[in-house]
Amino acid sequence: MGAVSAAGDGIGPLRELLRSGRTAIRPLTRFQPSGPPIGALVESPPSPDRDDDPDFHQELGVSFGVRAALEALGDTDPEHVALVVGTNLEDRPRPLDELAHDLAARVGLRGPVVTCSSACASSATAVGHALRLLDRGVARVLVGGFDVVSPRLHAGFHRLNALASAPCSPFSTRTGISLGDGSAFVLLELRDDAHPTGLNGWATRADAHHPTAPAPDGRGVRSALSRAWAQAGEPEIDWVSAHGTGTEANDAAEWRGIQRVLGDVPVSAPKSQLGHTQGAAGMLELVAALIARDAGFLPATAGFHQPRPGAPPDCVPQVRTAELEHVASVSCGFGGVNTAIVAGPSRSWARPQRPVHIAAIGRVESPEPLDPRDLKSELRSFDPRDADPSTLWLLAAIRRAWAGRRLGRDERAATGLIVAQRCTSPARIEELDRRLHDQGLDAMGAVLFSRSLPIVPGGACSLELGLRGPVDVVLGDPDEALDHGRWLLATEPELAGMLVVHVREAEPDHPDEGAVAIWLRPGVPTAGQRVMESGTRFTDAY
């Protein structure tokens, strides 16, 4: 394991912070924000200017990633190690997959590189891609993420009225988020011998409820955690590391989902000590959970005073000694993404795989006209005037793949969506850049900020179509997205199907646009259908 956080560089300072029960949330020094001037930032040089410098923040994120990755690698030969990066960092001026390849080059990795972005669940969701690569025969995979608090990010959350004026304390009477930055990576390998720590279960599921708010009943958390727990053999879970952002809606919904699966288990919120590290949060908090498990203590929810309505009965207000065997970590994100990981003594990861076939393909491309009014006729609440071009192309391709077939509610709820795209919607980024250039960060709008993430088109399609299976975004390589969709469907028996869509939105240097949707279903193909083999390329499929 390797980590860079507000506690300092390395696993040692992180362990010390967790044992202390104190918070690393403190006054901001890197830049002067317009909102609450606190956060859990890694010690670094001041930002060149208050108006934001995307080059600076991208380089800072990669530097965090390099430091954490090198610690996780130790003396391992990096020659044949794969890399999976999950991040929510702004993909400007460079695409995020380019940053991942940059990290791999600096560390000396020569294996495959996969980049995914599912908002604040990014690095936890990345674990699934690492497990798939291990299943495919890759010997070792370095998986994790990095993220940075920028003035633009801080302003966006401030406009959402989500930031706390004092260090956040999830589940307690003080509400609100404290942002943080940093990085964490773990080196995974398949082991034949017993090992004290293994990742026994992993799953991701969508809420299909709202672009930014969780389903109040916690159904996405419940579904992801239930699947991960079942994969792990349904062991007794001794403690849960909660996503715990500090907002009333998120904390209450998450606890409902956890309680439905595990009962009244002790729960701590690492964000009370480390801040909300965005795309890096899932892996940083998993590493924190593994540190606590191995050292035999429950980390505290720092600053916890009195429980607010809907809080767990045991929020671990003080650090306490405990014998931990199995622990769980939960991560959630915009777009309705929920990911759960169960860790305990290593056990066989072998899972039966069922055949998967290509049920249908839908393809729409420019200069074919795209009429948003035509899409609206089949959707429950969709307003095409608010959608970016990527979302419209996605919906059009899926509609054509389904070819008028109306899937029942239960079948849609058991269907997932993997989106392959180059970057965040260029139209959305251009709109946001134009407003900030003209009016400055004080003009950051809550709605526009929440729509400027890579997950937005996939999350919107998941919501509108009622898809509550896995939802994820793969950046840069559609073949990885297709292989991941097939792997999920082959190994998770409760899934009824997977949609894998490659979408291209017009950019100045890439004028062509459109989308191809491949609808995968389990079972032996019928006449006119084909078995989906592992390693099939996107262009081969159609």
Closest C-alpha to 105, from 62, 74, 47:
62
* Residue 338, beta-bridge partner list: 205, 332
Most confident of 299-308, 350-359, 387-396: 299-308
The phi-psi region of residue 388 (left if phi > 0; otherwise alpha if psi is between -120 and 50; otherwise beta) is beta
Q: Percent of the chain beyond pLDDT 70?
A: 96
Confidence of residue 50 (pLDDT cuts 50, 70, 90): very low
- Residue 112: asked if its preceding bond is cis (omega within 30°), the reply is no
CA distance 5 to 7: 5
Domains of the chain: 2-344 (3.40.47.10), 356-541 (3.40.47.10)
Q: Structure tokens of 339?
A: 């990911």
pLDDT in tens, 190-234: 887 777 789 999 999 999 999 999 999 999 999 999 999 999 999
CA count, 13 A, side-chain hemisphere, 471: 35
pLDDT in tens, 151-197: 999 999 999 999 999 999 999 998 999 999 999 999 999 887 777 78
The residues that are catalytic are 120, 243, 276
Residue type present at position 185: F
Query: Does residue 47 surpass a pLDDT of 80?
Result: no
Q: Structure tokens of 100?
A: 């991942």
Confidence of residue 387 (pLDDT cuts 50, 70, 90): confident
pLDDT in tens, 321-364: 999 999 999 999 999 999 999 999 987 766 789 999 999 999 99
pLDDT in tens, 493-518: 999 999 999 999 998 888 889 999 99
pLDDT in tens, 417-476: 999 999 999 999 998 888 888 888 877 888 888 889 999 999 999 999 999 999 999 999
Label each residue of 255-317 as H, E or C.
HHHHHHHHCCCCEECCHHHHCECHHHHHHHHHHHHHHHHHHCEECCCCCCCCECCCCCCCCCC
User: In degrees rounded to 5, what are phi and psi of residue 471?
Assistant: -130, 135
* The predicted structure's pLDDT at residue 440: 84
Q: How many residues does the chain have?
A: 542
Q: Chain-wide mean pLDDT for the chain?
A: 93
Query: Does residue 304 surpass a pLDDT of 60?
Result: yes
